[in-house]
Amino acid sequence: MASRQLIGLLTGTLLVVAVPTPWSATADDTLPGVVTTGRYGEGALATTRQPAPSVGIPGGVYGVGAWPSYAPPLADGPGRDLVIGAFSISHSTTYITMQPPLPAPTWAAEVDKMIKTFGASISDDVAKQITQYLQSHYTPDTRR
């Protein structure tokens, strides 16, 4: 009885091995769709090794352009400090200066959107002063 089980086990194993595959199963082949570049080396799991810094060419000139790390100044006027305070909570005041000059009603809508859509906690009085400031300095008629 044991020999029959052994023969059945061996036959089943041979059938599995004998099943043709769409790829060659030799030791030198890789599975289709497997990318072999960027293999992980030995070491702790979930760690990323940084490549060694490249050695520059002697006498070579290397550089990266300056990245502005400041917000352009806003126009002077009443409400400027309120704008800086209200905008700096969620984003840079660069959003104001990088916009094309917007019509006065658009600035009012933008301040309203900050409050109603994005949840800025700005009182009605402060919102009016911010809107007045933006309309006084950043519309097609007032932007310098």
Domains along the chain with CATH numbers: 80-137 (1.10.760.10)
Contact in structure between 115 and 123 (CB atoms under 8 Å)? no
User: Can you give the pLDDT at residue 61?
Assistant: 76
pTM for the full predicted model: 0.52
**Count of C-beta atoms within a 10 Å radius of residue 96:** 22
List per-block mean pLDDT (blocks of 10 residues) for the chain, which spans 144 residues.
52 46 48 57 57 72 71 90 88 86 94 92 94 94 78
The predicted structure's pLDDT at residue 124:
94
Q: What is the pLDDT of residue 45?
A: 55
Contacts of 32 (CB under 8 A, 6+ apart): 22, 23
